[in-house]
Chains A and B, each alone.
Chain A
Amino acid sequence: METKLTFPKKPYRTHGGVHVPHRKNTAGKQSVEMPVPSSVTITMSQHIGAVCKPVVKVGDTVAVGQVIGDNDAYVCAPIHSSVSGTVKKIDKVTAPDGSKVDAVTIESDGEMRLYEGIKPPVINNLSDLLKATRESGLVGLGGAGFPAHVKLNIPPDKEVDTLIINVAECEPYITADHREVLENSWAIMSGVYSLKDILGLKRVIIGVENNKPDAIKVLKAIADNEVDKYDEVRILPLKASYPYGAEKVLIKACTNRTVPMGKLPSDAGCIVMNVASIAFLAEYMKTGIPLTKKRITVDGDAIENPQNVIVPVGTCVKDIIDFCGGYKEEPKKLIMGGPMMGAAVSDDSLFIAKQNNAILAFTEKEARLQEPSACIRCGRCVDACPMCLVPTAICKAVDQKDTKAMLDSNIMNCMECGCCAFACPANRHLVNNIRLGKQIINNEKKRLMPLKEGK
């Protein structure tokens, strides 16, 4: 199939979306590398897919980049030690979603000694790349944490022609990707061009929201680089609207293709990579140091000194907040991730995972929740939904525990972006309700499974 690929001059139309306040307070501040914490606790579940099993024992000496958790499952990325030191304990800790997961606690010796086995990978072809990506422990750094080698391993029956680099960063407050672009532009350029060559792609679109003019300038320099003889890498400024960073929305805006329901971006001929993932991949190709550090935006009106910090994976949230000057006022809400999709956590004793990109602490003023009132059927949720669903109808079905009505209204297509609940004038907990409905359906499936197998 030889079709000419075009580059859009302006983004294609997408449905819905809401205008959230930007509050990118930390965009102008240089990221700061945090000093090595005295200990890190690295959970064994840092990605979508199989949970890793610890491969070290209490008392072992480990170094930076040494594998401490792995699993033979395909959808799984190994987990590496982020400091050098001694394994203190291996037991269950609470994950941000409230579940209990295995975690390895390592007491740091402060030396940050690199593991001797680390060397830059030799990448000549696609299978080398996939192997190296898996070994690097890379997962989608935008927040979902999907193992990157699975994403890059395109099934042979699918034709992928476009790489989309996601620099939308549409969540309020978060500026980690923005800072990545400004501070690490070499890595991004190197990553984009190597990935483009290895995957043999003819089109790379860098989607970036237009509220980051300085990032657009830097990226434009990358796109106009002379390495790109045929002008196959271009940048597409998006209007700053939430949720442009959502994979399916971004693909629609960049290529006008629709990812079929329940399918992956490769079904629409696209691969979407977060900009931080690309930058990391380039650095890994150069140095061979696996994913052990993460740039985190620390912000919110309860934080004394909001900024981006680069921390070892497994650092305690409390240590990071203390590094940022601690709490200015008594925090009433602590969020891992952005305010639209992040998880509110009950205390600051949790640990940073690979896919985290922000910690936000809010005071009573910002955190207080309005009581929901009756739905007035204004239809704002319908207008806001980027997936063209009717959130209020789904919620009605969930209230009645009517699984058929839930499925008929395509509840599973909801990506929980929060636009409906944001727009709702009656402050209804639409997303919460939809999550509940999905849980009901999953439970139902589990309940019916043994029956079907028995037949």
Chain B
Amino acid sequence: MENKMYVSSSPHFRSNSSTTKIMLDVIIALVPATIASVIIFGPLSLMLIGVCIASCVLCEYICRKVMKRDTTIGDLSAVVTGLLLALNLPVNINPLIAVFGCIVAIVVVKQMFGGIGMNFVNPALAARIVLLVSFPNAMMTWVDAFFYKAPDAVASATPLASDPSAYSYTQLLLGTHGGSLGETCAIALILGGLYLVVRKVISPIIPCVYILTSGVMSLIIGQDPIYQILSGGLLLGAIFMATDYATSPITKWGKVVYAVGCGVLTILLRTYSNMPEGVSFSIILMNILVPLIESATTPKAFGKEKKAKGEKK
């Protein structure tokens, strides 16, 4: 036998999942929200999404080249970051501001910390917060839904910033109100979330516990829980941002603790801080706590206990 054999460590079989396929699934799950944003906010939103995705991919490519490392744009994670960031911006924002956000997300938050899987906070959310602090006016000027059909429409507030009874539940579900691109249409977001759970890309623990905790917290504080859950970026955050692999715990109970923290902080920030929205900050804060949560919730190894469990009689 002349030809050389591959000699490698077992297992010799691998499942056919890959990072690219997972990222592709996330993109597919965001398609309903993207379509909804185009319907609600017009073709301008498609342009903004395009700008964000293109600049994120470009940033990633240049970064890896400069750092003399393998190109990683093939794994589509930069596309996901760009898309998520775009969905977190108001539609009439200056595209240059959006590009600046992309640079922050990819260069500063993601690549400077080692690239995919190494960032300690969610790049899209970190970029959103940087933009929020740097350009508060641009970031908090929302236009009403279907403004592109009525050119004279005035700026509108998001449901959170306005009177709690300004919008009906139907409006909130359909997303026909002012807000960031992707956060308004609750139905589209839930659809995407279901897809991710069915495809086993995310475990339902984080979104479910997050939403449940927010509901309970709202009740305690005396807010309308359904209104709180359906408005603002809560669903977008709970389904797509808090479940980011790199910045959420990998242990089961860690996920629970993390999601409870996110939910509590979100409602507290919404009610008592002077900003209308609290999702980004609460997720980022919990992102930072992930290493601690994880080390506290490491699962008990099989057979670790001193006494063997008796058989159930």
Footprint of B on A, CB under 8 Å? 3-4, 6, 15, 18, 20-21, 172, 248, 252, 255-263, 267-268, 330-335, 339-349, 362, 367-370, 373-380, 382, 386-390, 392-393, 409-410, 413, 416, 418, 421-427, 429, 431-432, 435
Contact = CB atoms under 8 A, between A and B. Distances in A.
A256 B311 contact: yes
Given A333-B7, A333-B8, 14 more contacts: A252-B302, A257-B309, A330-B3, A344-B6, A344-B7, A346-B7, A374-B115, A376-B22, A376-B245, A378-B250, A379-B203, A410-B304, A425-B22, A426-B18
A390 B299 contact: yes
Contact of A333 (B5, B306, B309): B5
B9 A387 contact: no
Contact of B302 (A15, A362, A382, A418): A15
Contact of A348 (B1, B17, B18, B310): B1
Interface in B1-37: 1, 3, 5-15, 17-19, 21-22
Contact of A257 (B114, B299, B311): B311
Contact of A258 (B12, B19, B72, B309): B309
B313 interface: yes
Contacts of A389: 299, 301-302
B75 interface: yes
Contacts of B13: 20-21, 172, 339-340, 418, 422
A257 to B, nearest CB: 6
Contacts of A382: 250-252, 299
Given A260-B305, A334-B5, A375-B117, A255 B10 contact: no
Interface of B: 1, 3, 5-15, 17-19, 21-22, 72, 75, 77, 114-118, 203, 245-246, 250-252, 298-306, 308-313
Contact of B303 (A248, A367, A377, A426): A248
A339 B9 CA distance: 10
A18 B15 contact: yes
A402 B117 CA distance: 21
A267 B303 CA distance: 11
Given A256-B311, A382-B251, A390 B298 contact: yes
A367 B6 contact: yes
5 contacts: A257-B311, A260-B306, A374-B116, A425-B15, A425-B17
A377 B202 CA distance: 12
A256 B6 contact: no
- List the 6 closest pairs (A to B, CB-CB), nearest first: A418-B11, A379-B250, A432-B9, A261-B303, A425-B17, A410-B301
Contact of B15 (A267, A373, A379, A423): A423
B301 A373 contact: no
A262 B304 CA distance: 9
A344 B5 contact: yes
A421 B14 contact: yes
Given A332-B6, A339-B13, A388-B300, A256 B309 contact: yes
B258 to A, nearest CB: 12
Given A345-B5, A369-B8, A248 B245 contact: no
Contacts of A393: 298
A261 B19 contact: no
A395 to B, nearest CB: 13
A252 B308 CA distance: 11
Nearest to B303: A261
Contact of A344 (B12, B298, B310): B12
A437 to B, nearest CB: 13
A73 B226 CA distance: 72
A446 B116 CA distance: 38
Given A258-B309, A373-B75, A390-B298, A422 B15 contact: yes
B14 A427 contact: yes
Given A260-B305, A388-B300, A427-B18, A3 B10 contact: no
Contacts of A423: 15, 17
A440 to B, nearest CB: 15
Contacts of B11: 339-341, 418, 421-422, 431
